[in-house]
Amino acid sequence: MKLTCMIGEDKGRSHFLELSHFNQDSNRVIRVDDSVEGFTEISALCESKKPDSIILIAESPLRFRDDLQIGLLPRLIEVGINPASIGFVNLNGIVLCSDSEEQVLARLQLTTALAHDRVGHGKPLSVKKIKPVKRCLVVGDILDNDVKLLEQSGIELIRIWSGDNREMLSDVGLQSFSGLPGDYQIGLLQSDNKTEEYRCGAVFVNTSSLNPDQKRQLAEAMKIPFPADTFRLPPDRHTLTAGVWVLEKENEQKTAGWAAEVSSLLDRDTIESYLDACTVNLDKCGLCGACVKTCMFSANSIDLKSARIHFDQTRCTGCGNCVTACPVLARDLHHYSNSYMGNIAANLHAFKGRDGMRILGLFCESNGYKAVNYLAGTGKRVSSSYYFLPVKCGARIGTEIIPDSFQNGFDGVALLVCARDECNELVGSLDLERRFNLYRTIMKAQGQESGRMRIFSIKEKELGNVHDGLEQFARYLADLRTDQAVFSQL
Ligand code: SF4
Ligand code: SF4
């Protein structure tokens, strides 16, 4: 069974959408409030019907996955739903480029059908069960009350860069960090330059008591992008790394009860983590080493003894960089599989853009997604020649999307991704630029118009700039069409 859930208030942008509009694509469609009652209705239905795919439609629906406080995802997991079968349709990405309610409806039907297809074919994510280590790494200052609470719960603390002895410990730093909630492996660099290895079940970071060098060191060890002197945990890392608490000014309220949360997490018998990792087909692998080179999270290595790729699922963030790099398609992702990515352009054959012009817009789940939400929120619209679809990261976009799109009648391709220094997957945007710049050269050599493909590198603080760029790109493609029409008459 396919289950489609429209989440939002009746006064929201989806007010005109009738549930019957979706019956042709889904076996069951419900509309629920964005509330505990609404989530209870969804999880009850999932528990009784065990759907093969569940699509959540809302304005900015990734919050249901990324914000663990909302609690919808844990509820669905609790009733036996594998996260790989849950997909999201962002209404903002549809409203942004639609001229009328009819267009919103048509696009929403198509996007929802594609989303069902995408998650319906994904293999279930594997689950890792961990007996938690009752030790917590504390980085920066913490309150005496929190220390007391943790110690009373039998949790040992390892503290760095904190307390009165901050000077003394200032040259002790975090060298490496890996693992899953309940069992992280950390390497602490000692003053004698030796690294001591520890295991701990949880990590707490108080960014307000750290200096920029300490934040940078921490970000490097934890493989987190570090833009403009801030230290932030990327949203998808919140899901995968539910054992890390980061106290920063913006989320001070949210983190207030962190010590109690750490106690209850480490008090469990087992912690289950779903691994949103890529897959490897060792039978196809030609041992070229491209995945070893391209992975920034050290998830791949070559095992010389067995002459095989060794893949550590627990280190993989599922960015897709190695999937794009692998020359023999031995790698794949659950959410954005090779078969899905290879058919995007063909699957949109029913889409008709403004004046017959069609532009494929792929936006990453981070700054691309934020830009789409921001623009839709300001009430701005872009040309209805665009059709926007999400993709996890620029890392997952291969150059084959260009010829595929052109062959399927698209006039242009727009890629909305993070600026290099804000990419959650560290080199996703950088590698995307490298690949596509190389492909531009090939297009030029073949006499093709390389300007038909454009990358929008988006900074979180400059989301508004994307609007003019998208409009300008649409005008450029329209002019190109006019020129081509003139040439063809000569
Ligand atoms: S990139 Fe593909 S073929 Fe090359 S080593 Fe990795 S899995 Fe094997
Ligand atoms: S998907 Fe990304 S993190 Fe996972 S192995 Fe490939 S490159 Fe590394």
pLDDT band at 179 (very low <50, low <70, confident <90, very high): confident
Tally Cβ neighbours within 10 Å of residue 78. Answer: 12
For range 359-364, the mean pLDDT: 98
**Ligand lying closest to the C-alpha of residue 292:** 1
For range 162-168, the mean pLDDT: 54
* Nearest residue (CA) to ligand 1, atom 2: 326
More confident residue, 299 or 14: 299
The pLDDT value recorded for residue 240 is 45
On the question of pLDDT at 357 being above 90, the answer is yes
For range 323-352, the mean pLDDT: 94
Cβ of 323 below 6 Å from ligand 1? no
The pLDDT value recorded for residue 163 is 64
Strand partners, 50: none
The pLDDT value recorded for residue 471 is 97
Cβ of 310 below 6 Å from ligand 2? no
Cβ of 278 below 6 Å from ligand 2? yes
Cα separation, 319 vs 103, whole angstroms:
32
Q: Which class is 129-274 in CATH? A: alpha beta
Residue 302 CA: which ligand 1 atom is closest? 5
> Which residues have CB under 8 Å from 397's CB, separation 6+?
324, 341, 362, 391, 415, 417, 432
The pLDDT value recorded for residue 289 is 95
> CATH topology of 1-125 equal to that of 336-490?
yes
Q: 470-480 pLDDT, tens per residue?
A: 999 999 999 99
Q: Which of 241, 321, 341 to mutate to test the pocket of ligand 2 (most atoms within 8 A of CB)?
A: 321
Torsional class of 426: left (φ above 0), alpha (ψ -120 to 50), beta (otherwise) = left
Q: Both ends of the chain: CA-CA distance in Å? A: 55
Side-chain half-sphere exposure of 233, counting CA atoms within 13 A: 24
The pLDDT value recorded for residue 239 is 47
The pLDDT value recorded for residue 234 is 55
More confident residue, 269 or 179: 269
* CA dihedral over 7, 12, 18, 22, signed as positive or negative: negative
Q: 65-82 pLDDT, tens per residue?
A: 877 778 898 899 889 999
For range 441-463, the mean pLDDT: 94
More confident residue, 483 or 94: 94
pLDDT band at 249 (very low <50, low <70, confident <90, very high): low
- Rounded to 10°, the helix 465-489/367-377 angle is 90
Could you tell me the two tokens for 401? 């999307």
Query: Does the domain formed by 336-490 have CATH 3.40.50?
Result: yes
pLDDT band at 459 (very low <50, low <70, confident <90, very high): very high
Q: 135-150 pLDDT, tens per residue?
A: 999 988 888 888 999 9
Query: Does the domain formed by 1-125 have CATH 3.30.160?
Result: no
Q: Classify residue 476 by burial, with Cβ atoms within 10 Å: 0-12, 13-18, 19+.
A: middle
| Average per-residue pLDDT for the chain | 87
The pLDDT value recorded for residue 276 is 85
pLDDT band at 325 (very low <50, low <70, confident <90, very high): very high
Chain Cα centroid distance, residue 122? 16
Distance 202 CA to ligand 2 centre (A): 23
On the question of pLDDT at 230 being above 70, the answer is no
Cβ of 319 below 6 Å from ligand 2? yes
On the question of pLDDT at 164 being above 60, the answer is no
Q: Kindly list the distances between the CA atom of residue 95 and the CA atoms of 99, 155, 377, in Å, as whole numbers in the listed order.
A: 8, 49, 10
Distance 323 CA to ligand 2 centre (A): 8
Distance 349 CA to ligand 1 centre (A): 33
The pLDDT value recorded for residue 25 is 56
The pLDDT value recorded for residue 72 is 92
Cβ of 464 below 6 Å from ligand 1? no
Q: 384-443 pLDDT, tens per residue?
A: 999 999 999 999 999 999 999 999 999 999 999 999 988 988 899 999 999 999 999 999
> Could you tell me where the DSSP H helices lie in 159-306?
212-221, 235-240, 258-266, 290-294
Tokens 């198509």 correspond to: 110
Cα separation, 478 vs 481, whole angstroms:
5
* Nearest residue (CA) to ligand 2, atom 3: 316
Q: 33-62 pLDDT, tens per residue?
A: 899 999 999 999 999 999 999 999 999 999
The pLDDT value recorded for residue 275 is 86
Least confident stretch, 206-215, 272-281, 293-302, 450-459: 206-215
Q: Kindly list the distances between the CA atom of residue 439 and the CA atoms of 8, 401, 411, 469, in Å, as whole numbers in the listed order.
A: 42, 11, 17, 21
Residue 294 CA: which ligand 2 atom is closest? 7
Architecture of domain 276-332: 2-Layer Sandwich (3.30)
Q: Which of 282, 292, 309 to mutate to test the pocket of ligand 1 (most atoms within 8 A of CB)?
A: 309
Distance 313 CA to ligand 1 centre (A): 15
Domain boundary assignment for the chain: 1-125, 129-274, 276-332, 336-490
